[in-house]
Structure 1
Amino acid sequence: MIRVDSTATDRFDTSRFEASRNRLASLAYRLLGSATDAEDAVQDAFLHWQSADRQQIKVPEAWLTKVVTNLCLDRLRSAQARRERAAGVWLPEPLLAGDPMLGPADTFEQRESVSLAMLTLMERLSPLERAVYLLREAFSYSHTEIAEILDVTESASQQHLHRARHRITATRRRGAEVDPASARAIVEEFLAAATSGRMERLVALLTDDAIAIADSNGAGLAKTLLRYDTPERVAAVARTGFKPTPAKRRLAGGPPAIHYALVNRTPALLFLLGDQVTGTVTFDVTDGKIATVRGIAAPARLVRLTGTWRRHGPNFPLIAQW
């Protein structure tokens, strides 16, 4: 009689799950827009994996993708029922370049799918539309595979994709991808103009329909989001917010350093006290101008970004002491 070492089998099965963890996390993050929720969904999938009859699972990657996707759909539906993620009043959790949760970046669709602009835009989609769109556009699953993952027909998958593309196309801001050097130069010029209070130059750096969104006091909830809808108002709030004063330094707990970084693969500024990120401002750059400015200061949404910064991010600041 042959005895099977269950401990060795468990180790092997755990290693198979871990081999898929980053891919599953990047899918969950795109679906949920929250790294914290994505980690929870992946951990729940691991518990499902442990309790399943794994010898009956022929393709672990497909099985795990289905479990994670459906766990995320359950979370999206629950969030919608609590009215916590209404479109236009929610900001995604930012991720710093180098974070494996950002996932693949080989194609434009993969890079776009993890941008804060697209994550915000996808709040307009139903959970199923969002899942189909991401599985197809960001992860290149066929409609046959998507139908199996979501327990829908291929025809239904195609219809969900059609509706999702229509809704996204109707509201997205189109523009060619900006090369990294040009994007950095624009953001650095914006910072220089804002900290010196040059209103006219700030307006010139913004598109005619520029907007700014900020999570105010850092609570990150719908009631605290602030929105500015004209280039003049965006420039005014940037001049007020970026121009340093002793009172602002006291409120911040000291003079923060300001660093340039890539957040969700878009240009950004990070505010740091020591090695702690206290805020980030991201910029959507379109055709050489800034179309959207997003300010995120909610401490809970900066935990993972701070951890990534400590591991990979430190560089020379644009401003050593603001």
Structure 2
Amino acid sequence: MTGREGGDRRVDAEKERADLEFPAENGDKELLARRFEADRNHLRAVAYRMLGSLSEAEDAVQEAWLKLSRADVSAVENLSGWLTTVVGRVCLDMLRSRSSRREDPLEYYLPDPVVRVADTTDPEHAAELTETVGLALLVVLETLSPAERLAFVLHDMFAVSFDEIARIVDRTPAATRQLASRARRRVQDATPAPGPDPRRQREIADAFLAAANGGDFEGLLAVLDPDVVLRADGGRVLAGASKLVRGAEAVISQALMYAKFRQASLPVVVNGAPAFLSVVKGRPAALMSFTIAGDRIVGLQVLADLERLAALGFTKEELARAA
């Protein structure tokens, strides 16, 4: 999980070309804007991991642009690094503000998913956002303190030095290293082992759905880990649907109950993992994604927040494909 991400490596060449064409010392705002655009996907990826919210990530990136447009960066040698730390600082402030006013129980909360229909090509920005970061990991990151999350995300995911992070959190590099170390232990303790290849994961997810629709208790038991955890987030509209369920038999009971109300399902991919969108009367009703380790489902994340589901942007044509 340490080092640069695969998505960042794909755009390294683009960034290097941009550094040559639009150096930071050039004060021309139009050239700076073009240079910023070369980093936008990377900055969005940083903000998404920091915040777990697509809309807030966009806000953080926009705030970074405003700071860049007002700053004198003629002496900045590494503009990409400067922008990364700016976004980190903006996100830290947003996390602290969120912590002071948060009312929703974290045990039920699900971060915003990045969703695509299963048989379509990943848009470039979606690939940037979801590279190596699953919904289950984002759930764990929500449990960290703002400073711990910043230290872990910037250092372990984006290779920012502890000296740079220390200046953001106003601590010594040694104290910042300890922040990242504590966060890393919590992430490692809560993160499941790697799953099988994507094709096999989809087969397991399909088997779960078929067994649930068929009322097949034994079939569900065969694909669920004994200690599987189901986390459901109903948002403000369906707050009563929010729950945390542990253990295979309890999860099976929930799955069989949900199956009675499901009208149609559309195979989708959520943050790189197999998922299904439940469609009722032509509208998104619930999004279920799977965390798979070995050949068993160890986690299910169900987003039933109708407001957030409506914002996912599925077209009528896509929803009509649900079967």
Query: So what's the TM-score if we normalise by structure 1?
Result: 0.80
Structure 1 pair 146–29 and aligned structure 2 pair: CA distance change class (3 A): same
Structure 1 equivalent of residue 128 of structure 2: 103
Q: Which whole-Å CA distance do the structure 1 matches of 2:104 and 2:94 have between them?
A: 11
SS in 1 for 2:59: helix
Letter in 2 for 1:280: L
Q: Which residue in the other structure is 1:266 paired with?
A: 273
Q: Which residue does the alignment assign to 1:213? A: 231
The residue number in structure 2 matching 1:163 is 182
- Residue 92 of structure 1 deviates from its aligned partner by 0.4
Decide which of 82, 89, 92 is 2:108's aligned counterpart.
89
For 2:126 and 2:178, locate their aligned partners in 1 and report how far apart those are by CA, in whole Å. 29
Question: Is this contact kept in 1: 2:193–2:293, CA < 8 A?
Answer: yes
Aligned residue type for 2:101: R
SS in structure 1 of the partner of residue 160 of structure 2: coil
Query: What does residue 290 of structure 2 align with?
Result: 283
Aligned residue for 2:150?
131
Contact 2:108 2:233 in 1 (8 A): no
The answer for the alignment partner of 1:175 in structure 2 is 193
CA separation in 1, counterparts of 2:103 and 2:78?
A: 36
SS in 1 for 2:142: helix
Return the letter of the residue paired with 1:38.
A
5+ unaligned residues in a row in structure 2: which ranges? 1-26, 117-121
1:237 pairs with one of 254, 262, 265: 254
Shift of 1:82: 1.4
C-alpha deviations, 1:111-162, integer Å up to 9, x for none? Answer: 1xx2111111112211111111111221122334433554443212211121
Report SS of the residue matched to 1:305. Answer: coil
Q: Does 1:197 align with 2:215?
A: yes
Q: Which amino acid aligns with 1:96?
A: V
Deviation at 1:42, TM superposition (A): 1.0
Moved more, 123-132 or 92-101: 92-101
| Offset, 1:66 | 1.5
- 5 Å-filtered alignment, 1:1-322, equals 9-84=28-103, 86-97=105-116, 98=122, 100-101=125-126, 103=128, 111=132, 114-170=133-189, 172-216=190-234, 218-219=235-236, 225-243=242-260, 248=261, 255-256=263-264, 258-272=265-279, 277-303=284-310, 305-306=312-313, 310=315, 320=323
Per-residue CA shift, 1:8-32, capped at 9, x if unaligned? 9221111111111111111101001
Residues 267, 276 of structure 2: 8 Å contact kept: yes
| 1:44 to partner: Cα distance | 1.5
Q: CA 1:80–1:48 in structure 2 vs 1: closer, same or farther (change >3 Å)?
A: same
Q: Which runs of 5+ in 1 are unaligned?
A: 1-7, 250-254
Aligned equivalents of 1:220 and 1:208: distance in 2?
A: 31
The CA distance in 2 between the partners of 1:159 and 1:173, in whole Å, is 20
Q: 1:274 to 1:237 in 2, by over 3 A?
A: closer
User: How far, CA to CA, are the matches of 2:196 and 2:236 in structure 1?
Assistant: 32
- Output the amino acid matched with 1:64: L
In 2 relative to 1, CA 173–68 (structure 1 residues): closer, same or farther, beyond 3 Å?
A: closer
Aligned pairs, number: 291
Q: Which has the higher mean CA deviation after the structures are superposed, 272-281 or 82-91?
A: 272-281
User: What's the offset of the Cα at 1:193?
Assistant: 0.8
CA distance in 2, matches of 1:294, 1:94: 10
Question: What does the per-residue CA deviation read over 1:207-231, in whole Å, with 9 as the maximum and x for residues that have no partner?
Answer: 1111212123x43787752122221
CA distance in 2, matches of 1:101, 1:269: 17
Rounded to whole Å, the distance in 1 between the matches of 2:294 and 2:80 is 40
Give distance in 2, aligned partners of 1:299 and 1:214: 13
